[in-house]
Amino acid sequence: MNYIIFPSAQNAVEKIAQEFVLYSQQNRPVHISLSGGSTPKLLFKTLAQSPFNTEVKWQNLHFWWGDDRMVEPQDPESNYGEVQKLLFDHIQIPAENIHRIRGENNVEQELARFSQELTACVPHLEFDWIILGMGKDGHTASLFPHQTNFDDQNVAVIAKHPETGQIRISKTANLIEKAKRITYLVTGGSKAEILKEIQTTDAENLPYPAAKIKAENGVSEWYLDKDAAKLL
């Protein structure tokens, strides 16, 4: 595992924000997949402020999501809605660069529409960068332990949260693993135990999708704050 440990969550998200600037300087469409959760909120707030809000060439970045819940975009549960409120409302970005999962739609129809958009827009289905989180149960995107099909050749899948039953659409493990770069952004002491388990146990013997999913032909890395890394 390639661990990069930062003094704080803020330090980690500032590093990612700096890399957004670098990615955006490539004069081509750069496809980035975002994550939901508390630490990404910190990232979006950071990107919305100076210097990043003006230094990033937003017209070159295309944003996607690892997963989203089947709710209205105004719903507090919407991953897209969080980014809209914290970042997109504060920057100049072309509407066509935002590729959201339309949680207000019928789930089967949206799965088909979103899968078609992915296939049409992302060259060779290789994302430039996929930023992922990890739940305390080891899930990532909406790929949960004991219910993820790692051999699913589709690009997206309908998923159900194992406890709440909430319906989501998620990228598949197969699609994520095609990425040129995967960064797990994990912060906070509540993730320390599972990170230690992932570090010390063969991934084949673990049920956690976050332990198994890595870039097949690219870079996989973990950006951790010191609280998350305290047992490593």
What pLDDT was estimated at residue 9? 97
Model pTM above 0.85:
yes
Categorize the per-residue pLDDT at 47 as very low, low, confident or very high, splitting at 50, 70 and 90: very high
| Tens digits of residue pLDDT in 79-128 | 999 999 999 999 999 999 999 999 999 999 999 999 999 999 999 999 99
Q: Taking 90 as the threshold, does the pLDDT of residue 213 lie above it?
A: yes
In this structure, is residue 227 part of a structural domain? no
Q: Taking 90 as the threshold, does the pLDDT of residue 169 lie above it?
A: yes
Q: Do 183 and 16 meet the contact criterion of CB atoms below 8 Å apart?
A: yes
In this structure, is residue 100 part of a structural domain? yes
Domain of residue 216: give its range: 3-187+202-222
Could you give the angle at which helices 38-47 and 9-24 cross, rounded to 10 degrees? Answer: 50
Query: Which of 148, 129, 110 lies closest to 60 in space, CA to CA?
Result: 129
The mean pLDDT value for 160-188 works out to 97
Q: Do 73 and 111 meet the contact criterion of CB atoms below 8 Å apart?
A: no
Q: What is the CATH number of the domain that holds 11?
A: 3.40.50.1360
Mean pLDDT over the full length of the chain: 97
In this structure, is residue 195 part of a structural domain? no
The mean pLDDT value for 34-57 works out to 96
* Alpha-carbon distances of 31 from 38, 123, 128, rounded to whole Å: 22, 9, 5
In this structure, is residue 192 part of a structural domain? no
Distance CA 70, CA 132 (A): 19
In this structure, is residue 197 part of a structural domain? no
Residue identified by tokens 């996989």 is 220
Distance CA 232, CA 226 (A): 10
Categorize the per-residue pLDDT at 1 as very low, low, confident or very high, splitting at 50, 70 and 90: confident
Helix boundaries (H) for the chain:
9-24, 38-47, 52-55, 79-86, 107-121, 173-176, 192-200, 209-212
In this structure, is residue 32 part of a structural domain? yes
In this structure, is residue 214 part of a structural domain? yes
What's the number of domains the chain is made of?
1
* Alpha-carbon distances of 30 from 57, 68, 81, 179, rounded to whole Å: 11, 21, 21, 12
In this structure, is residue 229 part of a structural domain? no
Q: Taking 90 as the threshold, does the pLDDT of residue 153 lie above it?
A: yes
